A and B are shown apart, each in its own frame.
Chain A
Amino acid sequence: MEMLRGGAQPKQTYIKRTRTGRINIKAGNKVELVTKWTIAMLAVLTIMAFFFFDYTGLQLERAITETAYNLKTMFLEPTLSHFSWGEAFHQIGITVGLGVLATVIGAIIALFLAFLAAENLSKPWISKSVRVVVAFIRAVPTVLWVLIFAIAAGLGSEAAVLGMLFHSIAYLVKAFSESFEEVDRGILEAMRATGSNWWHMVTHGVLPSTFTYLLSWTFLRFEINFGVAVAMGAAAGAGGIGFELFMASGFYFDLREVGFITYAILIIAIILEIVSTQLKNRYFPAAAKN
């Protein structure tokens, strides 16, 4: 031990000390400070939240035991009572169908907007303004879009799909344009040098090298849109399995049927998740975000 220790003090010392004279071991930079403050703020806001909450009609103890009992009934004794298996499949089909339509139409529109949003294919001011519009669209919750369209177009699949389109487009424009921006600068430069115009560059340079990414992103959005379609069925009367879920729990109070529907949704969601995880591992090893 003695051998490892210094006898004389080093000539120039890099040691930083705190005011009390103890040696500092933290870097004390901005990153640490911001991290600490963020965590502290979140903690404070969370504690404050429970004072702002409205607890009308809440009997916590009864609610917890009842929910536990309800969950048990739901998940252990699922049955169908208000509709048949065939009808169940049909309703699931409607929900999946809404998801597909919103995703596919969204992807086509997003493709064109993404060309405008990608910095390497577009002019800066166009790219900027597309991004601002997209940010605005994303800020409005999907359910509000659907409900607003329902007033104008009437309740039904058209309003649901149109409403769901907005977020799909916003999400995919961001994903697609980022994929485009990752296209090797050299490819575009080489094509420009041979005298190709913009359309040549897009159809022969950009699209072929990003096609699989675009498909994967579209599928990832489909996974999200399935969940959204369930929600729109329940909250905006868009039909499908979500609406049945709403009816079973809100009107018939039939927990066993709620259980059955939940299982049905769970199974589809897990299948979609497995497929999209595989896609992610294959095409985006560094786990894509958002």
Chain B
Amino acid sequence: MSLLQVEGLGKSYNLETKVLKDVNFTVETGEFVSVIGPSGAGKSTLLRCINRMVEINEGKVIFNNLDVGSLKKKDLRKLRTDIGMVFQHYNLVPRLTVIENVLHGRFGYKTTLQGVLGRFSEEEKEQAFFLLQKLGIEEHAYKRCDQLSGGQQQRVGICRALIQDPKLILCDEPIASLDPNSSKVIMDHLKSITNDLGITCLVNLHQVEVAQDYSDRIIGLRKGEIVFDGKSALLREEQINHIYGTERRELITV
């Protein structure tokens, strides 16, 4: 059984335009899959349907044998603990310390009262430090997040996702706001998460070259439809042109 199955997924925010149209794909455990496509193709929406940050209109998302669309509130919370998420703008609480932000990833396992009182076990805290060390930012643990550079903040975001102990990590444009050096560091970390820890990664990317370098498989999205799904090596110039339409030329010059 695959870790993630998406069947006939459709989504629209208003009556006129459909953001996603009949999307079908599966992801196996331990895969590193990139979703590429021009902005407005529905990449972010697709990712957010998987952990139901947006409601699903049509079709089914099956994660770990659970039908995501039909889960009740409590089960949805439990599902989300199994899926980490990394954002373009890191989405940290800027005034809190790095270590506090990492521990936020444990809220899914807490009762309301435990979370509000900030009860984290020593084990959880040690694990948080271990993850920070693994991503090379342990020395900043007690700094406020707004004092960190973009690349460092994104590593905090990854730690927050990892401490959830997830089966899948969704990354929404994780390097879109970063300079080339930091981008490489972040992509290397994501890759090693899949390789060393066996956690599946589904990454939205803008840059085709990065997707080709890092992923096992690429899904090309255009106007809400999958137009390519296959091994990275099989992605050729004409398919890229098809995914990006006329926009491709502009992208190269930018």
Q: Is the CB of A4 within 8 A of B125?
A: no
How would residues 95 to 138 of chain B score, 1 for a CB under 8 Å from any chain A CB and 0 otherwise?
Answer: 00101100100000000000000101010011101110100001
Q: Which of B138, B139, B165 has a CB less than 8 Å from the CB of A1?
A: B165
Question: For residue B163, which residues in chain A have a CB less than 8 angstroms away from its CB?
Answer: 4
User: Which residue of chain B has its CB nearest to the CB of A24?
Assistant: B142
In the assembled complex, the CB of A39 is this many whole angstroms from the nearest CB of chain B, namely 15
Q: Which of A5, A15, A22, A25 has a CB less than 8 Å from the CB of B100?
A: A25
In the assembled complex, the CB of A177 is this many whole angstroms from the nearest CB of chain B, namely 29
Interface size bracket, B side: 20 to 34
In the assembled complex, the CB of B18 is this many whole angstroms from the nearest CB of chain A, namely 32
Q: Is the CB of B197 within 8 A of A4?
A: yes
- With A1-B165, A4-B165, A23-B122 known as contacts, the answer to whether A15 contacts B130 (CB < 8 A) is no
> For the complex, is B141 an interface residue (Cβ under 8 Å from A)?
yes
Q: Is the CB of A26 within 8 A of B122?
A: no
Cα(A70)–Cα(B133), bound, Å: 66
> For the complex, is B198 an interface residue (Cβ under 8 Å from A)?
yes
- With A6-B133, A25-B100, A25-B103 known as contacts, the answer to whether A16 contacts B142 (CB < 8 A) is yes
User: Which residue of chain B has its CB nearest to the CB of A1?
Assistant: B165
- With A4-B162, A6-B133 known as contacts, the answer to whether A26 contacts B127 (CB < 8 A) is no
Interface size bracket, A side: 10 to 19
User: Which residue of chain B has its CB nearest to the CB of A23?
Assistant: B125
> For the complex, is B48 an interface residue (Cβ under 8 Å from A)?
no
Q: Which of A5, A14, A23, A26 has a CB less than 8 Å from the CB of B138?
A: A14
> For the complex, is B144 an interface residue (Cβ under 8 Å from A)?
yes
> For the complex, is B143 an interface residue (Cβ under 8 Å from A)?
yes
User: Which residue of chain A has its CB nearest to the CB of B131?
Assistant: A4
Question: For residue A5, which residues in chain B have a CB less than 8 angstroms away from its CB?
Answer: 127, 130
In the assembled complex, the CB of A120 is this many whole angstroms from the nearest CB of chain B, namely 29
Q: Is the CB of B141 within 8 A of A14?
A: yes
Question: For residue B100, which residues in chain A have a CB less than 8 angstroms away from its CB?
Answer: 25-26
In the assembled complex, the CB of B197 is this many whole angstroms from the nearest CB of chain A, namely 5
User: Which residue of chain A has its CB nearest to the CB of B97?
Assistant: A27
User: Which residue of chain A has its CB nearest to the CB of B118?
Assistant: A25
In the assembled complex, the CB of B162 is this many whole angstroms from the nearest CB of chain A, namely 7
> For the complex, is A63 an interface residue (Cβ under 8 Å from B)?
no
Question: For residue B141, which residues in chain A have a CB less than 8 angstroms away from its CB?
Answer: 14-15
Cα(A130)–Cα(B114), bound, Å: 54
Q: Is the CB of A25 within 8 A of B97?
A: yes
User: Which residue of chain B has its CB nearest to the CB of A7?
Assistant: B130
How would residues 10 to 37 of chain A score, 1 for a CB under 8 Å from any chain B CB and 0 otherwise?
Answer: 1001111000001111111000000000
In the assembled complex, the CB of B182 is this many whole angstroms from the nearest CB of chain A, namely 21
Q: Is the CB of B197 within 8 A of A22?
A: no
Cα(A263)–Cα(B99), bound, Å: 53
Question: For residue B196, which residues in chain A have a CB less than 8 angstroms away from its CB?
Answer: 3
In the assembled complex, the CB of A76 is this many whole angstroms from the nearest CB of chain B, namely 41
How would residues 198 to 230 of chain B score, 1 for a CB under 8 Å from any chain A CB and 0 otherwise?
Answer: 100000000000000000000000000000000
Question: For residue A23, which residues in chain B have a CB less than 8 angstroms away from its CB?
Answer: 122, 125-126, 129
Cα(A28)–Cα(B196), bound, Å: 35
Question: For residue A24, which residues in chain B have a CB less than 8 angstroms away from its CB?
Answer: 142
Question: For residue B133, which residues in chain A have a CB less than 8 angstroms away from its CB?
Answer: 6, 10
Cα(A194)–Cα(B196), bound, Å: 66
User: Which residue of chain B has its CB nearest to the CB of A16?
Assistant: B142
- With A5-B130, A10-B133, A15-B129 known as contacts, the answer to whether A27 contacts B138 (CB < 8 A) is no
Question: For residue A28, which residues in chain B have a CB less than 8 angstroms away from its CB?
Answer: 142
Q: Is the CB of B130 within 8 A of A6?
A: yes
Query: What are 12 A-B contacts with C-beta separation under 8 Å?
Result: A6-B130, A6-B133, A10-B133, A14-B142, A15-B126, A15-B129, A22-B122, A23-B122, A23-B125, A23-B129, A24-B142, A28-B142
* Residues of chain A at the chain B interface (Cβ within 8 Å): 1, 3-6, 10, 13-16, 22-28
Per CB-CB distance, the 8 closest pairs between chain A and chain B, nearest first, are: A6-B130, A23-B125, A27-B97, A25-B99, A14-B138, A27-B142, A3-B197, A10-B133
